[in-house]
Amino acid sequence: MKRRIVAIGTMLILLLVSLAGCGGDSGVEKITLNEVAHSIFYAPMYAAIELGYFKEQGIDLTLVNGLGADKTMTAVLSGEADIGFMGSETTIYVYQQGKKDYVQSFAQLTQRAGNFLVARPENATEQFDWNTLKNKTVLGGREGGMPEMVFEYILKDKGIDPKKDLTIVQNIDFGHTAEAFTSGQGDYTVEFEPSANALEVAGKGKVVASLGVESGNVPYTSFCAKKSYIEDNSDVIRKFTNAIQQGMDYVQSHTPEEIARVISPQFRETDMQAIINIVTRYYNQDTWKSNTVFEKESFDLLQDILRSSGQLENDVPYEDLVVTDYSVNAAK
């Protein structure tokens, strides 16, 4: 009998300890983040994940690859995702549709475009002249998408008419342009990493220009959520922004090699040297902001790009679509 009482007592103690452990996790917030693509371009976010910054903030993060801005935005609007990470232009498109519960950006990550103009090796020169694109065929992006709009914005700035001076192919799915280029289509192609690096390694292409450098500080990608979600979950947004800021602090204070090794678990299918090369390329062109504050000047430039490509008739209010409180506090 005594043994049975002792056994029961031991079980009760173990049960209480177990319940106490569960109670300790009660403050953890489960968040689903839908990203537009899984790319080394977003290194600070992956650094925050791998270094445990989200866990430190009490966030249990589930990362989902939306495979495109349209799908990512749909996930946010439907409630399938709590937070979306995508091109900032998508929030403007939703706002223009007149939705009452529209989507707001609350933290910016990249401040430059992440794609590159790749030429065939025989056409590559040390000093690239944008006029060489005249009468050529370039594999571009979809109409209304940030990659294509930035490319056309640069062309116009260089005095080149995107509609008349060259042919831009826009009917190839995102992620398949490098394959099409390798098969012989086009004279040039606009590529994100790791495709640009892969073309160079294979001897099929050569990066001749950075769209990020040529376009200036563009709010290329930002974190966003429905207005109602931000209002109802201010503490979650605060913690999330803090974690991202920590990731940005890390990449600002470490070498490309160190950054590459930290984020490498996110890209197990990519060779380590390739990750280092890609991080170095983004690092050298000052791709990532030092803080997550989405400034009005950047928002105005974004609207200029949209207007230039015919995607925006009337300006939208910065104050409606951008929330900076959390970013400003995180940067302190």
∠269-265-213 over CA atoms, to 5°?
80
Give the burial string for 8-34 (b: 16+ CB within 10 Å, else e): eeeeeeeeeeeeeeeeeeeeebebbbb
Three-class SS state of 41: helix
pTM metric for this prediction: 0.86
What letter would DSSP give residue 123? Answer: G
User: Phi and psi of 39, rounded to 5°?
Assistant: -140, 145
Rounded (5°) CA angle 256-119-152: 90
Burial 252-281 (b: 16+ CB within 10 A, else e): eeeebeebbbbbbebbeebeeebbbbbbeb
Sequential pLDDT tens for the chain (332 residues): 444 444 444 444 343 334 344 433 458 899 999 999 899 999 999 999 999 999 999 999 999 999 888 899 999 999 999 999 999 999 999 999 999 999 999 999 999 999 999 999 998 988 899 999 999 999 998 887 888 999 999 999 999 999 999 999 999 887 789 999 999 999 999 998 889 999 999 999 999 999 999 988 889 999 999 999 999 999 999 999 999 999 999 999 999 999 999 999 999 999 999 999 999 999 999 999 999 999 999 999 999 999 988 888 889 999 999 999 999 999 98
CA gyration radius, the chain = 23
Q: Are 289 and 109 in contact (CB under 8 A)?
A: yes
The number of angstroms, rounded, from the C-alpha of 271 to the middle of its chain's C-alpha atoms is: 21
Residue with tokens 């002792």: 6
